Structure 1
Amino acid sequence: MLEALRGIGGLVDEAVLRDAWALPEGELVAALEAVHGLEQRLTALRLALVREVDGRGVATTHGASSTAVWLRERLRMSGSAARRSVELAAALDAAPAVVGHALAAATINAEQARVIVDMVSDLPATVGAEVVEKAAQALVDHSVRFEPSILRGLGRRILHHVAPDVAEQAEADALRREEEQAHPRRHVSLSSPRDGRVRLTGVLDLETAGLLHAALDPLCAPTGDGDDRSPGQRRHDALADVCRLVLRTGQLPASGGDRPQLVVTIGYHALVREMGAGMLDTGAALTPATVRRLACDAVILPAVLGGNGQVLDVGRQRRLFTGPLRRALVLRDGGCAFPGCDRPPRWCDGHHITAWHDGGTTTLDNAVLICGYHHRLIHTGQWQVRLAPDGRPEFIPPAWLDPTQLPRRNHYHRRN
């Protein structure tokens, strides 16, 4: 074996000396596939060697506490990679031989092998060895067409293909066990603010996760050209939109006698000078720019204090775009008025064109309907918004985007 491996190493050395950039496209793809196949075959051999090392207790002989620890030190692997290697080696050894043979032949890759051994190990003990063999073979056959995540989904239904007579009961038993385990472990936590961020962590049961996906997915699509948010950032912003929508419904239980609302506390003169930070009722501090943006949000009620701390105003209704005024705003703009945005009215805020704290009035001719994402963009100061002579909102792009700064409109919501 060592002589063969040394021979392989020499051939690999020869290939490494060749420049990939000089290969024609067909040879480039073929070389990549050949390297991938060789990697899987060597992985099968490595796992067989790891299993033998573990079975012989080589780690203990060398003074290590476990095979994973020994691999970490000997091969300079990470601890997690070493543990996964030992676990997969043991699982392959216990799985039907067809899985190991397929990996050794590069018919499947290591990720697919891990999925298959996980799936067959989860089969009920009552199905018998013959059914386990058939399930493993079926998944190996599917691996020719499907990558690991899809293969895992197929694995959950594999009994329906190889043993339909026991599949329904086995699936019901498995789902019941999963549900019983998931329900007591459900939780959601919010950390204390740090560096301007709050960590959201949790474990959801499947039903709640489904509800969350259903609520977030329609709002996670890019908003159009120039939307460079990552998928995670889009999910973050979608979650904020969902919370705003729920708060608008007025259907949440009262909290301390009040409807749920976000309260920002700031000194009046600090707000007018656009210099002061604000404080949420959770104790988190907000930047002056964020305070200015929230001050014109239709679902955010500010609590403004005088210099000596007395309450001057909490959520003045004349400042908010509500009732007939909001309906008129929706009728005029139809949704987010920013060019190219398709967000509907229910996801939008009424924005004061001339800021409320600068003396701007809460009237239709000082308002524009705008979604949360573009509301934040407007408050960066790069884009400007105004009402054209025909009473329609138009947006002036920054000079770096359009040197002519030609005003733009949203034509998505126009119905006539």
Structure 2
Amino acid sequence: MDAPGLSLTEHPRPSTVLDDSLADLLQAAATLESVMARAQAMRAEVIDRARQLAELTADAESAELQRADSPSARRQLAHRVLASEVACALRVPERSAERLIDESDKLVRHLSATHRALAEGSISYRHAQVIIDEARSLPDAALPGFESAVLPVAARLTAARLRPRARIERERCHPESIEQRVKAGETERNVSLEPAHDGMAWLSAFLPAARASAIYERLTTVALDVTRTASGSDDDSRTLSQLRADVFTDLLVDGVVDATGCGTGIRATVHVTVPVERLLGAAATNTSPAPTTSAPTTSAPATSAPATSVPITAAFIPQAELEGYGPLDDDTARELAARAPSFTRLLRHPESGAVLSVGRDRYAVPADLTAALRIRDRTCRFPGCGRSARRSDIDHTIDWQFGGTTSIDNLAHLCPAHHQLKHRSAWQVSQQGGGVLRWRSPSGSTYVTHPEGGPAPPRARESTDTS
């Protein structure tokens, strides 16, 4: 579907412009870049139309059901439903879908000049994102002046070089003082964790600039002190970047936090799945079924504060795993498990490795069934969601009040956001056996999610325990 004035047919296809000369190839790449920008401008229009339709639908449903939802509550639910639909349809995380919806709204309804420049192919979507980000705190009345100042610059600069120029123009156009905006910005501070490759991960913090700079300078100062102390020694060959990372780790893991009184010896909470043979340092050469265990462990308590618990699971599988991350090296797994004061046995099927059902005939999910579900699901079971099962709710797929049972084939983890979405919107879910869930979206699309921990075992014999 071509939006008004946004026909993709005006540009030649790649096959008609490709040639053996470098100049023609580069021209073809530039043409394709322009085509992609035009397509992204069209996508913004389509997504924003979907947003408007979702809000109208929510208003109509609320009136039909005679619900007393406030307009803001209806819009919020409509936005949540749309974000989940967009995420599933485009196979992107919901946060990415929410950002796409927000950017489309800003482009189509508030930054029309930027949207036109994108549709003409004179700027890329990355340039448009920079303009959107820098214009967020500007009132609508200041947006035309801001766009007229930054768009000519955007047409000739990279997106990275555009940002500082756009930031300067934003300050010139903004009617509010920077002090007021700093106070508002501080409410958005957060810390996030993103898994990376080869046993690594990114730990990022969004902080006020002055504090972030102070933290970085302190890390650098301590790292340089370590370098000077180790000068002339072959014992420490770490680079300055590595030293900053090690100082950062030492301060957070073992450092003192005076403001909270946490003291020293704080340990992160993790969940690891480890073959018992690997914990013992022996090769898994025994072909007979091995015992499988689940072990909650606690690091050694500090003198000034209780240590954080570190649950660890040992299982008859070929590779140790860190919950929320993935494969873990044996040495790290042994180091974590070495501090475990106890192991709790958790039976698994000797051939498939699936956890045996530990269901009870009651509403509350008992601890052993909770452990089995957590190992089976590992994450929230909504399509595309990767939130850890440890931070999710256990949901009865068929509600208890409608005859649903507390059994492994009627339970699944849903994070609080998707748990609410299941009950408050037209999303529907059904169990397909083996822990497989089939979801149907409000628009009629279907999605299937599989448990990351493997298929669910058959249901256990019903218990007569009524406690």
Is the pair's TM-score, using the shorter chain for normalization, greater than 0.5?
no
TM-score range normalised by the length of the shorter chain? 0.3 to 0.5
| Higher alpha-carbon Rg | 1
Greater length-normalized contact order (CA 8 Å, ≥ 6 residues apart) = 2
TM-score, L = length of structure 1: 0.42
Q: Which has the higher helix share?
A: 1
